[in-house]
Amino acid sequence: MTKYEQLAEMLASCKKIVFFTGAGISCASGIPDFRSADGLYNQDSGQGYAPEQIISNTFFKRMTKEFYKFYRTKMVYPDAQPNSAHKFIASLQDTKEVSVVTQNIDGLHQKAGSKIVYELHGSILRNYCMDCHTFYSLESILSEQDIPVCSRCGGIVKPDVVLYEEPLDEDVIKKAIEAIYYADCVVIIGTSLMVYPAASYLQYYQGDNIAVINKEATSSDNGAKVVLHEDIVKVIEELQRVYHA
């Protein structure tokens, strides 16, 4: 039995599945990951600051204009579309109870049709005035050339994404952990599992049906039944070929 067949069998036998996803799942949609050679952290910000420094709360507060220049050009991909991996996950909802716990902020899981998505690090699609909390769309943020300000009160509008030095949303964390805890199966896709506290939530899983699909080794490899260090889209295409619900 191939690893693809093993994974297909695992998915078919389980009712409650959690997909724990990271930046790697969106690479085929044209969105770079963070830590690979071509990833965000290895790109020149063009501003004399390291990308990791720019996407911190301190930098946002002190140098908001420079933050937005980087954010609009390096972190937002409004034309990106879900790839076969996003779509496959969404398709399983027809016969399974599927939850997605994602570290991504791109909204592609929802765009593919996934209904239960816990966004640990927020979303580029939501933006709020820091003073009166008025909602603003991504389009309104991109239409501005400077710092976006609230049309109602004049406050600065901030993307609903978790920057370095900021806590994660406690309600989202609670729901994500609950989904992982009660899952029959957890499939880890496109994440190095190096980002904490997000990666630590996997410890709440009570079962032994773990699969890892990631180009590089992860800390969950040793405890997984199936490990595929391959291109994610290729794995999904092979999986679709052998999967039968």
Instruction: Determine whether 244 is an active site residue.
Output: no
Residue of 86, 109, 121, 244 marked catalytic = 121
Residues making up the chain, counted from first to last? 245
- AA identity, residue 102: T
Q: For residue 34, which phi and psi values (nearest 5 degrees)?
A: -105, -45
The C-alpha atoms of residue 195 and residue 192 are separated, in whole angstroms, by 8
Q: For residue 174, which phi and psi values (nearest 5 degrees)?
A: -60, -45
- The answer to whether 103 and 195 have CB atoms below 8 angstroms apart is yes
The 10 Å CB-count burial string (b at 16+, else e) for 202-237 is beebeeebbbbbbeeebebeeebebbbeeebbebbe
Active site residues: 121
